[in-house]
Amino acid sequence: MATRKLLLATLWLAAAASMAPAVSSAGAGVSIDIDVAPPPPRVEVVPAARVGYVWAPGYWRWQGHEHVWVGGRWLRERHGYHWVPENWVGNGPHYHFVPGHWER
């Protein structure tokens, strides 16, 4: 019974993960502007290259009332595009989060 529940949970997570690109490309977004500067980026050891993937470096995400580090990850390569990493843009005392995205 436990094996069946684990299999169902795994299938459900796989199905949900396969929907993520469709949802993220829908154009809906959240704008985050805060008055707290993000800490400097952490030094990450980039793993050996993987064929068909590009490395997306880690970044600081705003969660509630603080910055939280999100580690780097592999993204499936999109031919003809390059990955623009997530970053924070300062504007006076405010900081605006720019989500990572693909550009031609």
Residue 29 has what pLDDT? 64
Q: What is the pTM of this model?
A: 0.69
64-70 average pLDDT score? 97
Domain ranges of the chain: 51-104
Q: d(Cα 57, Cα 72) in Å, to the nearest integer? A: 4
- pLDDT above 70: residue 63: yes
- pLDDT above 90: residue 38: yes
Q: What is the DSSP string of 26-70?
A: T------EESSPPPPPPP--PPPP-TTEEEE--EEEEETTEEEEE
47-65 average pLDDT score? 96
Using one digit for the tens of pLDDT, what is the confidence trace for 20-34?
443 344 456 668 899
Residue 19 has what pLDDT? 42
Q: Which two tokens stand for residue 33?
A: 């502007």
